[in-house]
Amino acid sequence: MFTLFVYLATADINDDSIRSFWSFDGTLIASNTTAFTWTNNGVTSVPGIIQEAGQFLRDEGDDLTSTNSTNVGTIFSLNMWINPNSSATFQGLFAKFSGTGWELQFRGDTGNTAKIFYDVGGQGFFTSKGFGPDQWHMLTFVKNGTNETFFINGSQDSSTIEASAWATNGVNYQMGSTVGGANYNGLIDMVLFTDRALTGQEINLLYNNGLGLNFPFEIVPPTFSTVVNNATATTTTGDVVNWTTTITDIDELSFCWFTHNDTGTFTNETVQACTTPFIFDQEVIITAGIGDLVCGFFTANNTANQVAQTSDSCFTVVEITPPQFVDAANNASTAVINDVVQFTINISDNFALGSWTFGSNGTGSFANISLTFFNGETAVNLSVNQTVPDTPFKFVCGRFYFNDTSGNENSSESCFTTSNLFRNNITAFNARTNDTIVNFTAFITGITDPGFFTSSTTTTGLIRISLAAGNYSVITNATAFTNGTGFINVTAPTNASFSMFPDPSSISLTILREGNGSVITQRVDVEVLGPTVDTEFNT
């Protein structure tokens, strides 16, 4: 950020260099030092530039005389507000002169100008501009070594290099007249006499846009309301953002400007003149990239050349496009109860994925698993395993929820319908007596709902024996099945025992379980070998 204005610290004028200051308020002469004691010779108090002023009547011989005779050095300043109302030739404003010395005069004979006069030879110089009658003007004279400068109303008027050194004397100071009795006619206010050379910035500060300043005074910089911007959680590249504040000043504002870093470095917008109160509304089209922190602040100075700025008001540019995905899927086909189903999805984001979770309605309403955060990935494959609920013909959905680091959300779900089938444990073994098979036993476990067993006497049930080609029979519950496939009705979770005749030397059979005539879901293959030792088969 550049600094456009030079500003003045409070202590620059309110310091020990002040020889004396007269505000003409309260009592007729109010000095903030004991260096000058004045005798009032007819000067009266009237309204001035600030509160009261001294009124000097030329015809009445009004003036102020002091008992102080301390000579000035080679550096000093004299600042005063004057309101002349006479065009008389010579009118003393401030003097320490008697044959030698110096005095500041108002000259009606030279176009109502001011003159600094010193030495017996009448050396000195004039202001280039005159002073309109019955108007307040701030007149400043600065001596800085051999350089002498006049200022009128805060601006430099004329300057010169003195022709010879100023002579000293033991004469006391006087205000409103010369030693020769050339009295001033008009008003005088706010007289500042200092032992150093005031700067142009300080003199402009004293002028205060024509309002003047009292001593001691506080130089207050501009003040601001809270800076706000209208960026939201979805503000992104290409959007328009406004920063706003209200700027005020106890005196008057001068210039205001706005600074931001949207382009990467802090840049000042055009400086503009402003008056108090000033509502500053700055619009910026955002060019910063996703994830960039964009900040803006306001700066202002006042007519006293005091500069102040606000704190930063910032936001982060976000991605507003939600994560993309390939539709969620699952690997359920028959959807057998108590089986495990896997849900999968592929998701991606233009900037960075934030977090994800998964919900399923298998238990009734949707219930989510715990939230998982990504580590800055832009594309991932997700999978979640879920158990098929033990409710037949239930419509079950699994849903992935996910977002990106900018808070943009998305979701996708995949569904299936459960069957009425269970995958239950069937254990088969056979027993032999020497070379004769006594029986087979199918041991059925894991079925918890007897409603899945049939009680009919038809050949539709839960256990089916499938024989290989051959002339064999399987007998159970007095029901014989020969040379082929048959069904055994079971009315509850139970064991089913089978006998085979004749005793095969080697045969394969299959024990299958189905639910109420539905598609078969599990089989146990039992191979019966020739005469050997007894063997137990487990699956």
Residues of the chain with pLDDT under 70: 1-16, 26-35, 120-121, 215-219, 304, 421-539
- Spell out where 286-350 has E strands: 293-302, 307-309, 313-316, 324-330, 340-348
Q: Is 5 within the bounds of a domain?
A: no
Q: Cα separation of 30 and 451, whole Å? A: 112
**186 lies in the same domain as 334:** no
Instruction: Examine the domain organization and report whether 370 and 430 are in the same domain.
Output: no
User: Based on the domain organization, do 31 and 167 belong to the same domain?
Assistant: yes
What domain range includes position 376?
A: 324-417
pLDDT of residue 446: 44
* CA–CA dist 86, 184 (Å, integer): 8
299 and 399 fall within a common domain: no
Other CB atoms within 10 A of residue 430 CB: 20
Out of 299, 316, 333, pick the residue that ends a domain.
316
How much is the pLDDT for 168? 86
Looking at residue 360, its amino acid is S
Question: What is the chain's mean pLDDT, rounded?
Answer: 78
Same domain, 312 and 328: no
Both 46 and 21 in one domain: the answer is yes
Supply the pLDDT for residue 129: 92
Any residues with CB less than 8 A from the CB of 247 and at least 6 apart, and which?
222, 223, 224, 225, 253, 256, 274, 276, 277, 278, 280, 298, 300
164 located within any domain: yes
Is the bond leading into 502 cis (omega within 30 degrees of zero)? Answer: yes
pLDDT at 120: 59
* DSSP string for 143-176: EETTEEEEEETTEEEEEEE-SSPPPP--PPPEES
pLDDT score, position 514:
43
Q: Are 424 and 444 in contact (CB under 8 A)?
A: yes
| Inside any domain, residue 533 | no
pLDDT value, residue 523: 45
Asked if residue 165 and residue 54 are part of one domain, the reply reads yes
Q: Is residue 537 part of a domain?
A: no
Q: Are the CB atoms for 61 and 40 separated by under 8 Å?
A: no
> Could you say which of 316, 345, 369 is where a domain stops?
316
- CA Rg, the chain, in Å? 53
CATH number at residue 367: 2.60.40.10
Q: Which two tokens stand for residue 469?
A: 């080609």
Residues 270 and 124 in one domain: no
Asked whether residue 20 is domain-assigned, the answer is yes
Gap between the Cα atoms of 367 and 360, Å rounded: 6
pLDDT the model gives residue 384: 96
Query: What is the predicted pLDDT for the residue at 245?
Result: 96
Q: What is the pTM of this model?
A: 0.45
Q: Tokens 């056979």 belong to which residue?
A: 430
Shared domain for 353 and 429, answered yes or no, is: no
In a domain, 405, yes or no: yes
Domain boundary among 417, 449, 478: 417
Return the H-helix or E-strand segment holding 375.
none
**Token representation of residue 299:** 């700066």
Roughly how many angstroms between the first and final C-alpha of the chain, as a whole number?
A: 81
Give domain status of residue 98, yes or no: yes
CA distance 106 to 91: 5
% of the chain at pLDDT higher than 70:
71
* Residue 152: CATH number of its domain: 2.60.120.200
User: What integer pLDDT is reported at residue 16 of this predicted model?
Assistant: 61
CATH at residue 258: 2.60.40.1940
Domain count, the chain: 4
- CA pair distance 90, 104, nearest whole angstrom: 10
Q: What are phi and psi of 60, to 5 degrees?
A: -90, -5
Closest listed residue to residue 201, CA positions, set 151, 247, 271, 240: 151
Residue 229 lies in a domain: yes
> Is residue 51 classed exposed, middle or buried when 0-12, 13-18 and 19+ CB atoms within 10 A define those classes?
middle
Amino acid at 400: F
- Supply the DSSP string of 402-447, one letter for each residue: EEETT--EEEEEEEEE--S-B--EEEEEEEEETTEEEEEEEEEE--
Who's near 16: CB < 8 A, 6+ residues apart? none
198 lies in the same domain as 309? no
Same domain membership, residue 477 and residue 443: yes
Closest to 328 measured CA to CA, from 377, 382, 367: 382
Residue 444 belongs to domain with CATH number: 2.60.40.2410
Tens digit of pLDDT for each residue in 300-337?
A: 998 767 889 999 999 999 888 899 999 999 999 888 77
**Is there a single domain that holds both residue 411 and residue 429?**
no
